[in-house]
């Protein structure tokens, strides 16, 4: 079974692609909405919260763990691989390398939570892969909340983005990296705000492809989702996003 963790709805973008690439895999998705958003929390707290979610997945028989969040991956992936070296983990990292290779202007904007934008993982990605390019990191505190509230494609989201993306537009960025899985569900609002020739890189499919490399995806195509938050609200949001079907949606904790 493949276990997938996120603070909320964002990881559904990754789960969607895992289902497409591994149609027979059994999936267990855990959304820690009781503690969302993670992007404004201390990395040590995020790591501790993540470990409890991973333990829950292991108790339920997960053989591969997907950290479907840049914030979680930056805070917890290294520690988890050290503590559980026998277990395959697939995490996320800001897609700086493909963005720099793709950019015609040599200017790339990276959109993420405060924790991701200010954290060491993005700094490392820029150091390793950003040579010769102008990288514009942009923190978007509050966008995760809009997505969780079902407003990722709303006038409020468009107004929010218009107020915050100007620095990237003015810098001439032609390639924009989504360094938060929640932002997949604000993509249409992003496209309305960004210049017509802007290219958006969403790593969800690439992460799912990596999952397929480390896990054969055998099973009965059974999919369960659990949330630590209000279960009925989670059910509604999953239905509204319409990217992933679950056999059961349950409460956790």
Does residue 253 have a pLDDT over 80? no
Q: DSSP string covering 169-228, please?
A: HHTT--EEEE-SGGGGGGHHHHHHHS-TT-EEE-THHHHHHHHHHH----S---EEEEES
How many C-beta atoms surround the C-beta of residue 44 within 10 A? 11
Integer Cα distance of 109 and 175 in angstroms: 6
The tens digit of pLDDT for each residue in 230-249 reads 999 999 999 999 999 999 99
Note the pTM of the prediction, 2 decimals: 0.96
**Percent of the chain scoring above 90 in pLDDT:** 99
Query: Residue 87: is its pLDDT beyond 80?
Result: yes
Q: Is the dihedral of CA 82, 90, 114, 235 positive or negative?
A: negative
Largest CA distance in the chain: 50
Name the residue among 131, 118, 106 with its Cα closest to residue 70: 118
DSSP 8-class letter at 33 = G
> What value does the mean pLDDT of the chain take?
97
Mean pLDDT, residues 45-72 taken together: 98
3-state secondary structure of 157: helix
Query: Which domains are present in the chain?
Result: 2-92+205-251 (3.40.50.1860), 96-202 (3.40.50.1860)
């Amino acid at each position: 079974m493949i276990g997938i963790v996120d603070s909320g709805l964002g990881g559904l973008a990754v789960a969607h692609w895992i289902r497409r690439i591994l149609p027979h895999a059994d999936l267990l998705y855990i959304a820690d909405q009781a503690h969302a958003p993670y992007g404004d929390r201390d990395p040590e707290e995020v790591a501790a919260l993540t470990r409890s979610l991973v333990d829950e997945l292991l108790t339920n028989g997960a053989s591969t763990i997907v950290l479907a969040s840049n914030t979680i991956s930056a805070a917890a992936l290294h520690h988890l691989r050290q503590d559980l070296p026998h277990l395959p983990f697939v995490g996320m990292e800001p897609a700086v390398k493909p963005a720099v290779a793709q950019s015609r202007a040599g200017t790339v904007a990276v959109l993420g939570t405060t924790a991701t934008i200010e954290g060491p993982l993005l700094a490392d990605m820029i150091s390793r892969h950003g040579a010769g390019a102008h990288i514009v990191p942009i923190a978007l505190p509050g966008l995760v909340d809009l997505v969780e509230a079902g407003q990722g494609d709303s006038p409020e989201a468009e107004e929010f983005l218009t107020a915050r993306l100007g620095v990237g537009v003015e810098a001439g960025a032609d390639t924009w990296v989504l360094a938060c899985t929640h932002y997949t569900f604000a993509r249409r609002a992003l496209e309305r705000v960004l210049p017509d020739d802007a290219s958006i890189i969403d790593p969800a499919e690439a992460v799912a492809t990596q999952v397929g490399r480390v896990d054969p995806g055998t099973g009965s195509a059974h999919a369960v989702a659990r949330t630590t938050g209000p279960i009925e609200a989670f059910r509604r949001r999953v239905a509204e996003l319409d990217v992933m079907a679950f056999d059961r949606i349950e409460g956790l904790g």
